[in-house]
């Protein structure tokens, strides 16, 4: 029998390689559909879900449905891919697309329940209630309105946990005194709070369980602190940020009556600060439940322009105060009022106050810049997660159930390689082509020896 020609062998090898490539791609694609196998080669790990999300998914006690108010075809591919990966994490997570134009009755039904759904919103419904995620909360925008990132994972993961357990909290942010609330509002919203504003100067009274005073630049009026006094007496909780640049005698007097005073002058740290920025203090953690995970992970905050706090005796204030954040012993305060010149550390930079029965009442941070936007968005700092957890402790929730997941940047070029495509490329370039070359060489060698 006449042997095969060299050209015929090459053609057979090429055909075989193509067939194996197609078969591998089909099999891998089927595996991706059945088991959700996929690789993420994006620089920001845009499509990869965090361990926090996997933990939240595994902890779900009942079926939780995620409704996407859009048709599946019209949903942006990046959202569709991430949502699909949620569905593979747990059989209790059900992803459903609802076209608002094809099924207006669905939208109207939930609107009657108090959820004004719009296109591309998400609705999470579980055994503990319903959570609504507006489309505008999913994306991060720059100053010109262009989309630069995604907050989808943090929003959806916390919504899944809240919809399953039924936990829910509200927070009111005071306005009218130069407060900077945007970044902190977003962080608390991501932690499951419903947030709104509170204009005490207009006679509004707090309705939420937590009131936040975020770095005011102008002092409060006596009638405003009187409203806050009634709020605390009625079981409300207060979260206050006051930095070194603010002079607020009325507000400081109100805080002093609760056992928390603010020392004059800014704290300076010679060592524990952000490199190149001595004013950006890196505080140490005190003994408090809020601090447990952060101290163990060595995950630290930054506190720009910090003031030290003075803690009164518990019997005088009626509240038990606990040190949350501290300076080092090397810290100093340049205070003209001190008899010996500078005051020496360590200083208390943040403190919590509880009622005699252990009920949370107040947290005071000696820095307004601790909740600044650029710091809150920096994944290297723990500010965002820490402040959200502190707010949850104040509101009566378990702060350790909050999942802090930094936004992901939409940085071109982005490449999302599914399992099928990745495996096929690896097989062709790492296995089939080298094997084809070896086979062709072997056939050629045998033919030459046979001559």
pLDDT tens-digit map of 140-189: 776 677 778 888 888 898 888 888 877 668 899 999 999 988 889 888 87
pTM for the full model? 0.65
CA distance 356 to 351: 16
CA distance 211 to 198: 8
More confidently predicted of 315 and 200 = 200
CB burial of 250-286 (b: ≥16 within 10 Å; e: otherwise) equals ebbebbebbbbbbbebbbbbeebbbeeeebbbbbbbb
What pLDDT is attached to residue 228? 94
- Residues sharing a CB contact under 8 Å with residue 38, sequence separation 6 or more, in sequence order: 32, 47, 85, 416, 417, 418, 419
What pLDDT is attached to residue 337? 55
Pairing label, strands 267-268, 237-241:
unpaired
CA distance 66 to 19: 40
Q: Cα–chain-centroid distance for residue 365?
A: 21
More confidently predicted of 168 and 295 = 295
Helices (H), 113-248: 135-138, 152-165, 182-190, 222-233
What pLDDT is attached to residue 35? 43
Tokens of 34: 């059945």
Judge contact between 330 and 308, C-beta under 8 A. Answer: no
More confidently predicted of 433 and 308 = 308
More confidently predicted of 411 and 280 = 280
pLDDT confidence band for 30 (50 / 70 / 90): very low
Share of the chain above pLDDT 70, in %: 75
Least confidently predicted of 122-136, 151-165, 293-307, 397-411: 397-411
What pLDDT is attached to residue 7? 65
Tokens of 238: 């207060």
Q: How many CB atoms lie within 10 A of CB 317?
A: 16
Q: How many CA atoms lie within 13 A of 304 on its CB side?
A: 15
What pLDDT is attached to residue 216? 93
CA distance 73 to 282: 48
Q: What is the mean pLDDT of the chain?
A: 80
What pLDDT is attached to residue 414? 42
Give the highest mean pLDDT range of 12-16, 62-66, 78-82, 184-188.
Answer: 62-66
The predicted-structure confidence for 221-270, as pLDDT tens digits, reads as follows 999 999 999 999 888 999 999 988 778 999 999 999 888 999 988 898 88
What pLDDT is attached to residue 426? 59
Q: Cα–chain-centroid distance for residue 213?
A: 21
Judge contact between 93 and 160, C-beta under 8 A. Answer: yes
Share of the chain above pLDDT 90, in %: 30
Least confidently predicted of 37-41, 47-51, 154-158, 394-398: 37-41
What are 298's strand-pairing partners? none
Mean pLDDT, range 321-329, rounded to an integer: 92
What pLDDT is attached to residue 449? 62
């Amino acid at each position: 029998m006449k042997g095969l020609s060299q050209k015929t062998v090459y053609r057979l090898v090429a055909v075989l390689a193509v067939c194996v490539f197609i078969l591998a791609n089909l099999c891998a694609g089927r595996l991706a559909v059945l088991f959700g196998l996929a690789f993420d080669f994006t620089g920001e790990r845009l499509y990869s879900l965090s361990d926090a999300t996997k933990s939240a998914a595994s902890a779900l006690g009942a079926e939780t449905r995620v409704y996407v108010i859009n048709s599946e075809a019209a949903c942006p591919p990046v959202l569709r891919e991430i949502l699909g990966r949620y569905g593979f994490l747990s059989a209790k997570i059900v992803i459903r697309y609802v076209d608002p134009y094809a099924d207006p009755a669905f939208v109207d039904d939930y609107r009657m329940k108090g959820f004004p759904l719009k296109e591309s919103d998400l609705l999470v419904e579980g055994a503990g209630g319903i959570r609504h995620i507006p489309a505008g909360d999913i994306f991060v925008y720059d100053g010109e309105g262009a989309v630069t990132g995604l907050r989808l994972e943090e929003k959806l993961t916390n919504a899944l946990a809240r919809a399953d357990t039924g936990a829910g909290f509200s927070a009111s942010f005071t306005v009218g005194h130069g407060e900077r609330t945007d970044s902190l509002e977003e962080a608390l919203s991501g932690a499951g709070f419903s947030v709104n504003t509170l204009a005490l100067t207009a006679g509004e009274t707090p309705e939420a369980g937590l009131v936040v005073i975020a770095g005011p630049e102008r002092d409060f009026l006596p009638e405003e602190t009187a409203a806050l006094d009634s709020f605390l007496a009625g079981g409300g909780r207060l979260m206050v940020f006051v930095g070194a640049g603010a002079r607020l005698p009325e507000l400081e007097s109100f805080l002093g009556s609760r056992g928390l005073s603010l020392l004059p002058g800014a704290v300076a740290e010679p060592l524990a600060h952000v490199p190149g920025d001595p004013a950006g203090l890196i505080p140490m953690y005190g003994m408090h439940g809020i601090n447990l995970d952060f101290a163990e992970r060595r995950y630290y905050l930054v506190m720009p322009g910090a003031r030290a706090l003075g803690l009164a005796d518990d019997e005088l204030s009626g509240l038990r105060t606990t040190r949350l954040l501290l300076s080092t012993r090397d810290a100093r305060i340049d205070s003209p009022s001190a008899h010996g010149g500078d005051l020496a550390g360590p200083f208390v930079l943040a403190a919590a106050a509880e009622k005699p029965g252990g009920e949370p009442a107040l947290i005071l941070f000696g820095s307004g810049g601790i909740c600044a936007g650029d710091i809150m968005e920096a994944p290297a700092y723990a500010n965002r997660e820490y402040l959200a957890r502190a707010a949850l402790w104040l509101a009566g929730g378990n702060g350790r159930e909050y999942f802090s997941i930094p936004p992901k940047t939409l940085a071109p070029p982005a490449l999302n390689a599914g399992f099928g495509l990745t495996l096929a490329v690896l097989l062709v370039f790492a296995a089939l082509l080298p094997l084809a070359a070896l086979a062709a060489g072997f056939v050629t060698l045998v033919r030459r020896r046979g001559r």
